[in-house]
Amino acid sequence: MWIWMALASALLLGAYDVAKKAALRHNDVYIVLLGATALSVLFLSPFLSHGSAGDHLRLAFKAVLVTSSWVSGMYALKLLPITIVSTYKASRPMFVVVLSLLIFGERLNLWQLAGVLSVLAALFLLARSGRTEGIHMRSNKGMWALAVSIATGVASALYDKYLMTGMQPLFVQSWTNVYITLLLFICVMARGLRSGNEPMRADWRILLIAVFITGADMLYFFALKQDGAMLSVISLVRRCSVVVTFVLGAMIFREKNLRAKAGALAVMLAGMAFLTIGSI
């Protein structure tokens, strides 16, 4: 059951990335994130329940990791093509897989191993194809922001596995969104709406962002809570949201170098099939 939840979460994540890119055309990064997370808190408010002080401290720390990953990722998304951002962020499961094996002692069966190797190969091919668009790490602020987003995202994913051993999914998701919203509100107040910043415009895509990320995270946390769920596999499957981003990005944003990425996406789809077969 958990593998199907991970697949559904991946679909919503892809739609989430496209909605973010569209909303950032007319709004500031912090404003978009604050509006989306505040709406997520509203959606999840019925699930806010009591917890210990220790639980809330752990969730506040997770909120710091998630906020760092989201803000840096949004700046990268604003400065770079969506296919480049989604491609490089798709490499994140490689680190999660390796660290999951080392920290949690997870073991893969043959089908899952074939899936992991296929997806990692596809991610490598996708990342390499991005170089033809002239995007280089050392000379691009967007790439540095993307590197921070990937590093903090890996740390957050590993931390999720620890949190799910003693907390319920909706408790984690609802309170984490509360703390993320508070952090973003503080950031907005601290930096102020300077004259160079874009004022917030009414944008229905911010509502879409909130709906997509709330659904994606809910499926993700419930998947992690299932017996036998493997963080390494779930992280890989979720990052296959790049397939959705690729298709919608090609249709909506008319981005370049799509043909070179099509073969890698086919390899990724094969890897997803292997992971699914090995996990049901």
Domain ranges across the chain: 2-279
Cβ atoms 176, 168 nearer than 8 A:
no
- Predicted pLDDT of residue 68: 96
- Predicted pLDDT of residue 98: 73
- What pTM, to 2 d.p., does this model score? 0.81
**Phi, psi torsion values for 209, nearest 5 degrees:** -55, -45
- Predicted pLDDT of residue 1: 82
**Alpha helix positions (H), the chain:** 2-23, 29-44, 53-79, 82-89, 92-103, 110-130, 141-163, 169-191, 204-225, 231-239, 242-252, 258-279
Name the DSSP class of 164: T
Spatial separation of the C-alpha atoms in residues 72 and 68, rounded to whole Å:
6
Spatial separation of the C-alpha atoms in residues 229 and 108, rounded to whole Å:
11
- Predicted pLDDT of residue 199: 57
Cβ atoms 126, 21 nearer than 8 A:
no
- Predicted pLDDT of residue 269: 78
For tokens 């596809």, the residue is: 122
Distances (CA, A) of 230 to 51, 170, 255, 277: 26, 19, 34, 14
Q: pLDDT in tens for each of the 280 residues of the chain?
A: 898 999 999 999 989 988 988 888 878 888 889 999 999 999 999 999 989 999 999 999 999 999 999 999 989 988 888 777 877 777 777 677 778 777 877 777 888 888 888 878 887 777 676 666 666 656 678 889 999 999 999 999 899 988 988 899 999 999 999 999 999 999 888 876 554 555 556 678 899 999 999 999 999 999 998 988 888 788 878 877 877 887 777 777 766 667 766 777 788 778 878 877 876 6
Spatial separation of the C-alpha atoms in residues 280 and 278, rounded to whole Å:
6
- Predicted pLDDT of residue 275: 76
Element containing residue 257 per DSSP (H, E) = none
Strand ranges in the chain using DSSP code E only, listed in sequence order: none
Q: For residue 93, what are its two tokens?
A: 């499961």
- Predicted pLDDT of residue 237: 84
Q: ∠ CA(32), CA(35), CA(37), 5° rounding?
A: 105
Q: Which amino acid is at 174?
A: S
Q: Which of 135, 80, 94 is nearest to 245 (CA)?
A: 80
Radius of gyration of the chain (CA): 18
Q: Which amino acid is at 56?
A: H
Q: Which of 129, 116, 30 is nearest to 88 (CA)?
A: 129
